[in-house]
C-alpha cells in the first residue's frame, strides 16, 4: 500500500471529509476556508483545465483528483467517493449535477448523512436561476450595489460582497450547521446557497435602519455608513495618500476633533446633518495639511477611530499585521493566513497534494475503482 504524502491536518474540522467539484470563485473559497479549518478536501478537477495563477490561493489545501465527468467510469468514482464524504460542494448552474447523475436525490440515497452544498448566484429556482451572471449582477439585484459608490455612480466593491461575503461565507456557515444537524439526527440535506440571498442578508442592518426612516434609499453618500457622514469617510493627505475616520460615537468624535485642534463649538452636535457640509470642508482642509505618515503619528494611538488606507503591499508590511501574522508566504506566495484563530485546535494552510492509495481507501473507494483511479493518475 502506498503511503499518503499528506501530513495529518490540524484544526477544528480535522476528520471531516469534503468532496469538491472544481469551479471558480465562491465555491473554491468556501472549500479553502474548510481546508484551513482542518477538513480534508478532495477536489475533482477536469482534465486539460490547468489551474490559473490567480486561483493558486483559493485552491490551496486540496487533494486533487482529475476525472473526465463525461465518462461513465468517472461518475461511478464520484458516487463512490460521495459515500465516504461528510459534505459535497458544487458551484454549477442548476441541473448540471443532475444531468451528470450526481444530483442530491441520487447521492443522498447513497449516503443519507451527506451535506450537499450548492453555490449559485441566483439560487436553484426563480426567474433568473438559469441565466449567467457575476458578483456585480447578484449584489445589484439584492439592493447592495445601489448603496455603494460615489454620489453619481454605483461602484462594485471588488467581489467581496457577493462571491465571498454573501456566497462563500454563507455556504461555509450552512455546511457547518448542516454537519452538526447530521451528526445529531443522522440526516443530511441540501443547502441552496444563492449569492443574492446572502447579499440581501448582509444588508439586514441597512434594511432595519430603512424601516425606521433612518436610511435614505434614494441616493448614495447620504447616510451614516455610506460616506454621507463626514466623520465616517476617507480623506486625501498632503502626499496624495489617504486616511479614513469612523468616529461615530460622541466620545470618539470628541477625541478626533481634539487631536485636529478643532473646537467643539464648531460642531456641537456632529449628528446634525445641517452641519455636515461645513464639517466635511473643514476635515478636507485639515487632512490635506499633513502626510499620511504624519497623521498616523498623530492619530495612530488615539481613540479617534482612525486608520491609514493601505494598498495590499502596504497591508502586508504594517506592524499590526506583522505582529499578528495576518499574512504568510508559503512557497513564496504572499497570502492571508487562515482566520479566525482557535486556542485549542489552530488552523493551518494544508498542502496541495495528488491522489494516493491510502487516501482512496480512507474515502472507502472499492478496490476495483482504486486500481482504475491510480492507473489514470
Q: DSSP H helical segments within 54-212, as ranges? A: 72-83, 96-100, 104-110, 135-141, 170-185, 195-202, 204-211
Q: How far apart are CA 193 and CA 71, in angstroms?
A: 28
What are the angstrom distances between the C-alpha of 232 and each of 217, 262, 272? 18, 17, 14
Q: How far apart are CA 75 and CA 273, in angstroms?
A: 62
**Which of 36, 86, 135, 163 is the catalytic position?**
163
Q: Say if residues 21 and 44 touch (Cβ distance below 8 Å).
A: yes
Q: Is 371 a catalytic residue?
A: no
Mapped onto helix, strand or coil, the DSSP state of residue 285 is: helix
Q: Is 163 a catalytic residue?
A: yes
B/e letters for 333-371, b = 16+ CB within 10 Å, e = fewer, are eebebbeeeeeeeebbbbebeebbbebbbebebeeebbe
B/e letters for 93-115, b = 16+ CB within 10 Å, e = fewer, are ebeebeebebbbeebbeebebbb
**Which of 134, 146, 217, 222 is the catalytic position?**
134
272: its cell numbers: 446634525
Question: What residues form DSSP beta bridges with 154?
Answer: 149
Work out the angle at residue 309's Cα, subtended by the Cα atoms of residues 261 and 55, and round it to the nearest 5 degrees.
Answer: 170
Report the DSSP pairing between strands 232-236 and 242-246: antiparallel
Q: DSSP H helical segments within the chain, as ranges? A: 26-36, 72-83, 96-100, 104-110, 135-141, 170-185, 195-202, 204-211, 250-259, 276-287, 292-299, 312-317, 319-324, 357-362, 367-376
Q: How far apart are CA 62 and CA 140, in angstroms?
A: 33
Q: How many CB atoms lie within 10 A of CB 286?
A: 15
Active site members: 134, 163
Amino acid at each position: 500500500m502506498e503511503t499518503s504524502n499528506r501530513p495529518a491536518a490540524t484544526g477544528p474540522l480535522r476528520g471531516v471529509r469534503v468532496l469538491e467539484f472544481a469551479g471558480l470563485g465562491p465555491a473554491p473559497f468556501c472549500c479553502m476556508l474548510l481546508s484551513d479549518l482542518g477538513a480534508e478536501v478532495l477536489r475533482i478537477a477536469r482534465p486539460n483545465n490547468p489551474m490559473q495563477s490567480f486561483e493558486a490561493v483559493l485552491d490551496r489545501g486540496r487533494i486533487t483528483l482529475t476525472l473526465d465527468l463525461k465518462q461513465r467510469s468517472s461518475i461511478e468514482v464520484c458516487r463512490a467517493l460521495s459515500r465516504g464524504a461528510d459534505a459535497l460542494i458544487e458551484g454549477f448552474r442548476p441541473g448540471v449535477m443532475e444531468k451528470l447523475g450526481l444530483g442530491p436525490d441520487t447521492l443522498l440515497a447513497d449516503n443519507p448523512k451527506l451535506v450537499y452544498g450548492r453555490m449559485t448566484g441566483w439560487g436553484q429556482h426563480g426567474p433568473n436561476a438559469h441565466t449567467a451572471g457575476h458578483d456585480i449582477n447578484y449584489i445589484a439585484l439584492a439592493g447592495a450595489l445601489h448603496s455603494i459608490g460615489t454620489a453619481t455612480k454605483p461602484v462594485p466593491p471588488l467581489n467581496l460582497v457577493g462571491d465571498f461575503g454573501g456566497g462563500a461565507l454563507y455556504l461555509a456557515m450552512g455546511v457547518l450547521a448542516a454537519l452538526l444537524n447530521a451528526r445529531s439526527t443522522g440526516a443530511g440535506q441540501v443547502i441552496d446557497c444563492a449569492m443574492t440571498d446572502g447579499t440581501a442578508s448582509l444588508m439586514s442592518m441597512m434594511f432595519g435602519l430603512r424601516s425606521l426612516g433612518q436610511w435614505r434609499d434614494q441616493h448614495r453618500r447620504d447616510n451614516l455608513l455610506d460616506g454621507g457622514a463626514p466623520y465616517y469617510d476617507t480623506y486625501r493627505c498632503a502626499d496624495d495618500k489617504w486616511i479614513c475616520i469612523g468616529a461615530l460615537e460622541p466620545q470618539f468624535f470628541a477625541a478626533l476633533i481634539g487631536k485636529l485642534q478643532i473646537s467643539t463649538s464648531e460642531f456641537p452636535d456632529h449628528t446634525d446633518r445641517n452641519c455636515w457640509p461645513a464639517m466635511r470642508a473643514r476635515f478636507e482642509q485639515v487632512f490635506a495639511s499633513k502626510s499620511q505618515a504624519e497623521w498616523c503619528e498623530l492619530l495612530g494611538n488615539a481613540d479617534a477611530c482612525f486608520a491609514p488606507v493601505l494598498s495590499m503591499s502596504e497591508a502586508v508590511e504594517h506592524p499590526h499585521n506583522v505582529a499578528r501574522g495576518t499574512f504568510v508566504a508559503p512557497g513564496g506566495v504572499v497570502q492571508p493566513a487562515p482566520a479566525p484563530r482557535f486556542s485549542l485546535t489552530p488552523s493551518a494552510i494544508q498542502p496541495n497534494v495528488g491522489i494516493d492509495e491510502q487516501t482512496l481507501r480512507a474515502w472507502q473507494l472499492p478496490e476495483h475503482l482504486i486500481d482504475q483511479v491510480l492507473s489514470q493518475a
